[in-house]
Amino acid sequence: MADAKQLTIIGGGLAGALLASLLAQRGWQVDVFEQRGDPRVEGYAGGRSINLALAERGLYALKQAGLDHRVLEQAVMMRGRFVHPLAGASQLQRYGRDDSEVIWSISRGELNITLLNAAERAGVRLHFNQPLKSVDFEARLATFETPDGENVVPFNALIGADGAGSTLRAQMHATLPFDERTEWLDHGYKELEIPPTASGDFRIEPNALHIWPRGHYMCIALPNDERTFTVTLFMPLKGVYPSFELITTPDAAQTLFETQFPDTLPLIPDLAEDFARNPVGKLATLYLDRWHLADKAVLIGDAAHAMVPFHGQGMNCAFEDCVSLANHLDRSPALSDAFQAFSEERMPNAAAIQQMALENYVEMRDKVDDAAFLLQRELELTLQARHPERFIPHYTMVTFMRIPYAVALARSDIQRDILVAATHGKQRLDELDMAQADAMVLAQLQPLSDLA
């Protein structure tokens, strides 16, 4: 293909559609090939979670495309975790200091449609019902399956936004093998629904992400703008009770909810139907040693670095990829340089959030109602107030800031050690040696502005 300012994106999901807009706005001619039908015509086909948590990194990327306001109009604010222990009172644990530090629950389908509309308005050509089948990288020809046969399309370069099961990644691997590793989590998930009340209201506090932590398993619920909640039950696939291997029938699910999540039972009237109908989703982390193939192809989003969903950052990270790739394409006239620079910037950060996402599962299902954790959280906020430039809580760095994930991970490790050391054997904040905690902070954490 002669036109050097042309790019072909595989996948019109969240990352593909946003990247298409960003590139078209910067003067690229962009084609997007999507395996599914047009969700604006045929309805959204779903497949993964029904709703998602949008945080600062994703919001910033949407802002670059001029879409932040439009998306927030459809979102429900979540101030914190609403923790429902099996025994004892439920409580809201704020994520940040105030309502300037919140996350947003958005519908995947609505968001995808907003992004596709924006891409089309920016001049992107969208091709639906055309899954990528194979690629001849030498001849720069991509073959798509169409309802009538095959469509062979010349390309300048391909961008793989085709998700965790990426066909483009498989085609790149066939040409120049990756060191590719998929680590499956031994836990899966199933979605259920809390409908609105008879008068059309939310049944529980809407401005929160609800968690029912139960040790090795949990339920969470995120609000939807039509006043429902999507509940997700996460538990082991096999082995110990409860697991998806042992709970296979609606009756078994009913018993599990009666004994372990009794307060949710009146909220989920269609538990039996939801449980029988909805599939068990599997979760994995994907590791690659390289994301691009010369100047011919590059991977972004889940196609490059699928992760488990427990930090609510997969899409946010994919959106950060979009901004980064668009910036590198602006800066480097040669595609191979842009792809290389993009990979060098993003790979360590994707690896960091993949690790933090795995760690956060343990925190959500096992720690959020634990006294030691709550004391550490109290100290975290105190140290943040005393050293605002140095001690920034882990969740804040990941969720409300855009400092590189790798920096957030390194600082979180140091901070966790300080929190554990300072609270060891203590029950209350006023029992702590605050001077010693201050000294650890000053000795071990540089001010963030020094890193700029």
Q: Which residue's structure tokens are 């979540």?
A: 78
Q: How far is the CB of 161 from ligand FAD (least distance, A)?
A: 5
Nearer to ligand FAD, 146 or 382 (CB): 146
Q: Which of 8, 13, 156, 422 binds ligand FAD (CB under 6 A)?
A: 13
Helices (H), 155-268: 167-175, 250-260
> Beta-carbon neighbour count of residue 410 at 10 Å?
12
Q: Which of 314, 375, 400, 423 binds ligand FAD (CB under 6 A)?
A: 314
Closest Cα to residue 17, out of 62, 53, 70? 62
Q: Which of 7, 9, 52, 153 binds ligand FAD (CB under 6 A)?
A: 52
Q: Which of 49, 114, 156, 376 binds ligand FAD (CB under 6 A)?
A: 49
Candidates 247-255, 264-272, 314-322, 419-427 — which segment interacts with ligand FAD by CB under 6 A?
314-322
Q: Which of 34, 101, 193, 369 binds ligand FAD (CB under 6 A)?
A: 34
Candidates 308-316, 332-340, 415-423, 437-445 — which segment interacts with ligand FAD by CB under 6 A?
308-316
3-state secondary structure of 212: strand
* 313 touches ligand FAD (CB under 6 A): yes
* 368 touches ligand FAD (CB under 6 A): no
Pair 247, 260: CB distance under 8 Å: no
> Beta-carbon neighbour count of residue 38 at 10 Å?
15
Please give the size of the binding site for ligand FAD, defined by CB under 6 A. 33
Pair 209, 184: CB distance under 8 Å: no
* 14 touches ligand FAD (CB under 6 A): yes
3-state secondary structure of 203: coil
Quick one: tokens of 98? 């105030």
442 Cβ contact partners less than 8 Å away, ≥ 6 residues apart: 387, 390
* 342 touches ligand FAD (CB under 6 A): no
* 291 touches ligand FAD (CB under 6 A): no
* 189 touches ligand FAD (CB under 6 A): yes
Task: Give the long-range contacts of residues 164-167, CB within 8 A, separation 24 or more.
Answer: 164/284, 164/286, 164/302, 164/303, 164/306, 166/10, 166/11, 166/299, 166/302, 166/303, 167/10, 167/131, 167/132, 167/133
* 404 touches ligand FAD (CB under 6 A): no
Residue type, 32: V
Q: Which of residues 97-126 bind ligand FAD (CB under 6 A)?
A: none
Candidates 61-69, 156-164, 262-270, 371-379 — which segment interacts with ligand FAD by CB under 6 A?
156-164
* 16 touches ligand FAD (CB under 6 A): yes
Q: How far is the CB of 367 from ligand FAD (least distance, A)?
A: 19
- Percent composition of the chain: helix, strand, coil (DSSP 3-state, to 5): 45, 20, 35
Nearer to ligand FAD, 56 or 162 (CB): 162
* 301 touches ligand FAD (CB under 6 A): yes
**134 phi, psi to nearest 5 deg:** -155, 165
Interacting residues toward ligand FAD by CB under 6 A? 10-16, 33-36, 48-49, 52-53, 131-132, 161-163, 167, 189, 281, 301-303, 309, 312-316, 318
